[in-house]
């Protein structure tokens, strides 16, 4: 691929062939030397072919191969003339991250850590196809899909402060449950309040280092503080929504009026009937995911309360923020010196809005939006904050995690004969898991170095490091 270095962490993929815009890749030279980056770079170029794309097809340093779009991809399309593509959102709609602080220091929790992780494992359903104790009727499920986080709070799962500290208030307007298949509804009704499998987790960690003390103070973070980190999404409901619409749109590729470089980029004009239906169905799945994470945080609060025999006020478990990293959203950005309404696809990318942006909750507006970047279970996670440069260059977006280096099958092969749980325990990290091969698939070496990924986006100026979190205990699916 014809890559030209623009700055130490920014590269341009030349506009060639049917590409309507160039590609812009945020990465270090070392990252791009990996031959595995060839496929996601090709996908960056493919996305640049889609009608209505604005400015550039973007990729973050955690990029790797995905369905249609690369994971770690960002692309914005003109709201009136552009397209929306399910592959630009992904199967796990509104997969995202939720961070909460606690009133505990590491020394308070470490003596009871094993008891705590066992209780979390018992009380937070995890694993492939896991179902939870929460039973809702189909009528009530449709209220979940319409109202998002506020539904959870109204039913006793959390507080209004949680809603205020959730991206978009935990609800995308325009969700229409009548557009979902019966199979999607059936899957969602059984899985509300469950963690799922794969790279999803609930983690008890500690603030290891603070880089921006004033911003950390605003977010309620300080060194030595125990935290709770949740990473999960819309479960089987979101998967089914994506699958249903991909099947429909793929059947109608021949009606698009232009040639797709990859069938996995099946799409519809945003203003078409199909485009509007997909966005409404996607909103349902996004709202479901926010409710799911809200319920899981509530369960974690209950476990802490039980283990430490404290009420909510003494526990001090406060939500810092909840962000999604698989979504398509209507937003207004400055493009070529003028404001333009666009549909921003973030697939494995996190919103990183700058200080002063009206979409950032009022208490964080002076410093900017928190961006939560989970690592693997054996290294670290980061709290970042959005910048004005992100607004100028990436539609207010940054990376979403470490990014896989090895496929799950390759990770299982390479970890043969190892006891990953013992290796983690030797590092002071307790882990409980459900799937037989989960720990081998998710071993630390299966991912890029999270610190190097974060150094790229920090060095490029599209966000700033605020704090690093070290895991102490992890529940995996």
CA distance 4 to 12: 5
- Percent pLDDT > 90 in the chain is 87
Q: State yes or no: is 400 an active-site residue.
A: yes
The CB density around residue 410, as the number of other CB atoms within 10 Å, is 13
Catalytic residue (choose from 231, 325, 345, 400): 400
Q: Look at residue 320 and tell me whether its pLDDT is greater than 90.
A: yes
Predicted pLDDT at 448: 86
CATH code of the domain occupying 3-476? 3.90.1860.10
Mean pLDDT of 119-142: 89
Look at residue 132 and tell me whether its pLDDT is greater than 80.
no
Can you give the residue ranges of every domain in the chain? 3-476
pLDDT at 112: 97
Provide the pLDDT for residue 126: 84
pLDDT digits (tens, 9 = 90+) for 63-106: 999 999 999 999 999 999 999 999 999 999 999 999 999 999 99
| 120-129, 191-200, 300-309: least confident range | 120-129
Q: Which residues of 261-295 are buried (b: 16+ CB within 10 A; e: fewer)?
A: beebbbbbbbeeebbbbbbbbbbbbbbbbbbbbbb
């Amino acid at each position: 691929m014809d890559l030209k270095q623009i700055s130490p962490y920014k590269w341009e993929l030349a506009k060639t062939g049917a590409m309507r815009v160039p590609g812009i890749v945020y990465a270090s030279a070392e990252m791009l030397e990996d031959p595995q980056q060839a496929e996601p770079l090709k996908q960056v170029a493919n996305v640049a072919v889609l009608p209505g794309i604005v400015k550039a097809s973007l990729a973050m340093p955690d990029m790797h191969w995905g369905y249609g779009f690369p994971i770690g991809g960002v692309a914005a399309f003109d709201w009136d003339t552009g397209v929306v593509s399910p592959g630009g959102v992904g199967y796990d709609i509104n997969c995202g991250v939720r961070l909460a602080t606690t009133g505990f220091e590491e020394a308070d929790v470490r003596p009871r850590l094993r008891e705590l992780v066992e209780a979390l494992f018992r009380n937070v359903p995890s694993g492939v196809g896991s179902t939870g104790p929460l039973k809702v009727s189909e009528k009530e499920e449709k209220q979940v899909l319409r109202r998002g986080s506020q539904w959870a709070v109204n039913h006793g799962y959390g507080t209004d402060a949680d809603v205020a500290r959730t991206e978009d208030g935990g609800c995308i307007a325009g969700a229409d449950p009548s557009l979902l298949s019966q199979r999607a509804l059936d899957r969602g009704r059984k899985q509300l309040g469950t963690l799922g499998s794969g790279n999803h987790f609930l983690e008890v960690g500690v603030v290891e280092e603070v880089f921006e003390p004033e911003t950390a103070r605003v977010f309620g973070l300080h060194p030595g503080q125990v935290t709770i980190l949740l990473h999960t999404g819309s479960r089987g409901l979101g998967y089914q929504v994506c699958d249903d619409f991909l099947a429909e749109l793929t059947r109608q590729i021949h009606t698009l009026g232009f040639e797709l470089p990859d069938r996995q980029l099946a799409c519809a004009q945003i203003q078409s009937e199909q485009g509007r239906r997909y966005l409404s169905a996607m909103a349902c799945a996004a709202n479901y995911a926010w409710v799911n994470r809200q319920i899981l945080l509530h369960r974690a609060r209950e476990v802490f309360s039980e283990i430490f025999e404290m009420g909510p006020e003494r526990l001090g478990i406060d939500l810092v923020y909840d962000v999604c990293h698989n979504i398509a959203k209507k937003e207004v950005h400055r493009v070529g010196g003028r404001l333009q309404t666009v549909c921003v696809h973030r697939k494995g990318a996190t919103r990183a809005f700058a200080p002063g942006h009206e979409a950032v909750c009022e208490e964080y507006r002076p410093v900017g939006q928190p961006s939560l970047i989970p690592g693997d279970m054996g290294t670290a996670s980061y709290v970042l904050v959005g910048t004005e440069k992100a607004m100028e260059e990436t539609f207010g977006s940054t990376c979403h995690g470490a990014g896989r280096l090895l496929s799950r099958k390759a990770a299982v092969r390479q970890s043969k004969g190892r006891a990953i749980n013992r290796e983690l325990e030797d590092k002071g990290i307790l882990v409980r898991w459900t799937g037989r091969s989960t720990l081998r698939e998710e071993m630390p070496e299966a991912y890029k170095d999270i610190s190097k990924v974060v150094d790229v986006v920090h060095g490029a100026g599209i966000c700033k490091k605020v704090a690093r979190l070290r895991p102490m205990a992890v529940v995996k699916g």
